Amino acid sequence: MEKILIKMFFFCILLVSAQSGFSAGLKLIKSRDDELCEYMQTIFQKDFDQYGSEQFSLHEEYNWIKWTASKYLLKGGLHPQIKKVLLSKFDINNDGRRETVSLETVMIFARETDELHVLGDDTFNINKELEFTINELIKMPGIIASAEWPYRLDIKSLDVDYEFYKRNSILSLIDIYPFKINGALYLSLVEKYQVKNQPKWHVIVKYTDEQFPIGRGDRRSTSKLEHICYFDSISSKRER
């Protein structure tokens, strides 16, 4: 009798899992390039099967950029601040020329998010002591996403779960992972935090030089990204 009850228990678990409609992995929500999106979905599936989430360092597409750890002096506030930053040179906008790019983690309301800035062209000297004012940093092009001014995702005409994703169609606190495939530069923007009853977005984009203001009264701007793939990154521990 005890063995029968145990078997029934595990059968119920499997039944609930099957009825939940998803398993761990990247759930493709929207695609503007089916071949790319399906390929990225496939290469990350092994990560979810083994580790429960994306493992970017295991994939050659994400390993070709070599970052240099550095720091810069930020002036213009009450006190000068030393900021840690990663620096590299690569063609971020796919125009055939390398740019000098910085990537750093900043704090927004005591929570972390990545920011990316294009410091200049290939001639920018990353070996010198770097020093910026707040005003100079504000004017630099790049990618800024925050809880205050998130990226809006274009959620329209979905076949499934339209209302769920429409209610949660913003991308705010993120990790940024550049990668290259078929000679083109893309960026994975991945939400840093999982919020209960909400998707955890993994959005693949192309960077564009066109910038737009991130909020009313804010002097900063961010790239008008070209959105390619919308994924919901579903871990095996997701509650929904």
Output the tens digit of pLDDT for each of the chain's 240 residues.
444 433 333 333 333 333 345 589 999 999 999 999 999 999 999 999 999 999 999 999 999 999 999 999 999 878 899 999 999 999 999 999 999 999 999 988 889 999 999 999 999 998 888 999 888 888 899 998 777 777 889 887 676 677 888 888 888 899 999 999 999 999 999 999 988 888 999 999 999 999 888 766 667 788 999 999 999 999 866 554
List of long-range contacts for 190-193, beta carbons under 8 Å, 24+ apart: 190/54, 190/233, 191/233, 192/111, 192/112, 192/113, 192/114, 193/111
Q: Which among 161, 156, 150, 229 is positioned nearest to 199, based on CA atoms?
A: 161
94 within 8 A of 206, measured Cβ to Cβ: yes
Residue count of the chain: 240
Query: What are the backbone angles phi and psi of residue 108, rounded to the nearest 5°?
Result: -125, 110
Distance CA(24)–CA(183), nearest Å, equals 30
pTM: 0.85
Distance CA(213)–CA(54), nearest Å, equals 31
